[in-house]
Amino acid sequence: MADSDSQTSATAPGSGSAGCTPELAVIVPTYNEAANIPVMIRALDSVLHGLDWELIVVDDDSPDGTAAHVRALGCTHARVRVLQRIGRRGLSSACIEGMLATTAPYLAVMDADMQHDETLLPRMLERLKAGQLDLVVGSRYVAGGGLGGWDDKRRSMSRLAGAIGRRLIKADLKDPMSGFFVLRAEVLHQCVRRLSGVGFKILLDIFASHPRPLRFEELPYQFRTRQTGASKLDNAVLWEYLLMLVQKLVGPRVPARFIGFSLIGASGVLVHMLVLWSCYRLLGTSFLTGQALATLVAMTSNFFLNNLLTYSDMRLRGRDLLRGWLSFVMACSIGAFANVGVANYLFQAESFWMLSALAGILVGVVWNYAVTAVYTWKKPRAA
């Protein structure tokens, strides 16, 4: 998502809400939500009665056939659209692409699983139009709002993530983790090229990326319990949250995947030292044996962590794992040669030893990242 800042975000002259049709687009990201879609359409139909609205479901080619279900329902519901993305995953990027696919001046983002209270939508829209506001957020953390049936662990995780998020955006938003909000389309257009688009936290991303402080209001709602289907929030999503925070610190020019890859690379150094120490100091092997084993173990742990986290959206499984591991080890071995070669060259040219080493490491990491992105985690072939 992150792209050149030099392009300005054009807001069409005179763009505003007057006479636009539809007036409101409800963007719903989905992954395996087929059973929830009819329920949601019925609910929206009833609460948005009298408004000119459309529903844009952004589905990442769910195995349960969500996109086909939406199309079938769209036959009898003129307001329903579907954007089916092939070979892609990600809640945030799905929301961004859905928001860009409409001409409506007001955009609502909402989950498909009915955990967000759709009956709040008309009031959110009203507040957005009435006040001098950019954004209205459905909030679980203002008086009258609540978390429903969450267990203590998820409650405290949500609070912690929210507290970190608030520091990042420097706005007193009580629920920066909310996935339920309504905004003016131009607010999105003004920051769309700066968004990281990684992970689940699209609202936080918008706040952190916008060039000026946003005017917002929070309206309370009770987070409901999911009736069908399963949550997709797992460890990979938490990792992506961390990456998004780092991304905001280093800026949009460095790809989020590269940041993740480098952080995992750094963890590999610790693994390496631990194995080397165990072999050489504890078990009394030769240094060479210890070093070789440590290199292999560190590469393997890097491979699995990257497969789990950096490439959670194209995770290799089954037989592909062996092929992936082999190509990863081969790529990283060449990377290690490049690393040592460059460092040695610079050192011979009388550069400061630490700088030489760092330059070597940088060349190695960039090489490993670039090569494994192409050969280890190949994009799935188009169907």
| Binding stretches for ligand GDD (CB under 6 A) | 29-31, 33, 58-60, 89-91, 94, 111-113, 115, 177-180, 200, 231-233
Report in angstroms how near the CB of residue 139 gets to ligand GDD at its nearest. Answer: 9
Report in angstroms how near the CB of residue 89 gets to Mn ion at its nearest. Answer: 16
Residue 112 touches which of ligand GDD, Mn ion, none (CB < 5 to 8 A by kind)? Answer: ligand GDD
| 31 versus 303: smaller Cβ distance to ligand GDD | 31
Return the structure tokens found at 296.
Answer: 């292999």
| 23 versus 118: smaller Cβ distance to ligand GDD | 118
Residue 31 touches which of Mn ion, ligand GDD, none (CB < 5 to 8 A by kind)? Answer: ligand GDD
| 90 versus 364: smaller Cβ distance to ligand GDD | 90
Residues forming contacts to Mn ion in the complex (CB under 5 A) are 111, 113, 115
Report in angstroms how near the CB of residue 75 gets to ligand GDD at its nearest. Answer: 22
Report in angstroms how near the CB of residue 141 gets to ligand GDD at its nearest. Answer: 11
Task: Tell me how long the chain is.
Answer: 383
- Closest residue to ligand GDD, Cβ-based? 179
Residue 290 touches which of Mn ion, ligand GDD, none (CB < 5 to 8 A by kind)? Answer: none
DSSP 118-161: GGGHHHHHHHHHHTT-SEEEEESSSTT-B-TT--HHHHHHHHHH
Enumerate the β-bridge partners of residue 216: 135
Q: What are phi and psi of 117, to 5 degrees?
A: -85, 100
Return the structure tokens found at 167.
Answer: 């520091």
Q: CA 372 to CA 9: how far, in whole Å?
A: 34
Enumerate residues 6+ apart whose C-beta is below 8 A from 91: 29, 179, 199, 200, 202, 232
Return the structure tokens found at 195.
Answer: 């968004």
DSSP-based three-state secondary structure for 82:
strand
What is the 3 state secondary structure string of 162-226? HHHHHHHHCCCCCCCCCCCEEEEHHHHHHHHHHCCCCCCCHHHHHHHHCCCCCCEEEEECECCCC
Residue 268 touches which of Mn ion, ligand GDD, none (CB < 5 to 8 A by kind)? Answer: none
Report in angstroms how near the CB of residue 373 gets to ligand GDD at its nearest. Answer: 19
Distances (CA, A) of 176 to 119, 185, 279, 373: 21, 19, 47, 32
Distances (CA, A) of 187 to 85, 214, 220: 24, 9, 22
| 97 versus 111: smaller Cβ distance to Mn ion | 111
Q: CA 376 to CA 372: how far, in whole Å?
A: 5
Neighbours of 234 (CB within 10 A): 10
DSSP-based three-state secondary structure for 163:
helix
DSSP-based three-state secondary structure for 50:
coil
Report in angstroms how near the CB of residue 107 gets to ligand GDD at its nearest. Answer: 15
| 310 versus 327: smaller Cβ distance to ligand GDD | 310
| 193 versus 232: smaller Cβ distance to ligand GDD | 232
Residue 200 touches which of ligand GDD, Mn ion, none (CB < 5 to 8 A by kind)? Answer: ligand GDD
Neighbours of 378 (CB within 10 A): 14
Report in angstroms how near the CB of residue 231 gets to Mn ion at its nearest. Answer: 5
Query: Given 3-state DSSP classes, what are the helix, strand and coil percentages for the chain, each rounded to the nearest 5?
Result: 55, 10, 35
Residue 91 touches which of ligand GDD, Mn ion, none (CB < 5 to 8 A by kind)? Answer: ligand GDD
Residue 225 touches which of Mn ion, ligand GDD, none (CB < 5 to 8 A by kind)? Answer: none
| 137 versus 363: smaller Cβ distance to Mn ion | 137
Residue 218 touches which of ligand GDD, Mn ion, none (CB < 5 to 8 A by kind)? Answer: none
Q: How many CA atoms lie within 13 A of 180 on its CB side?
A: 25
| 148 versus 213: smaller Cβ distance to Mn ion | 148
Report in angstroms how near the CB of residue 115 gets to Mn ion at its nearest. Answer: 4
| 44 versus 94: smaller Cβ distance to ligand GDD | 94
Residue whose token pair is 């990792």: 239
Report in angstroms how near the CB of residue 109 gets to ligand GDD at its nearest. Answer: 9
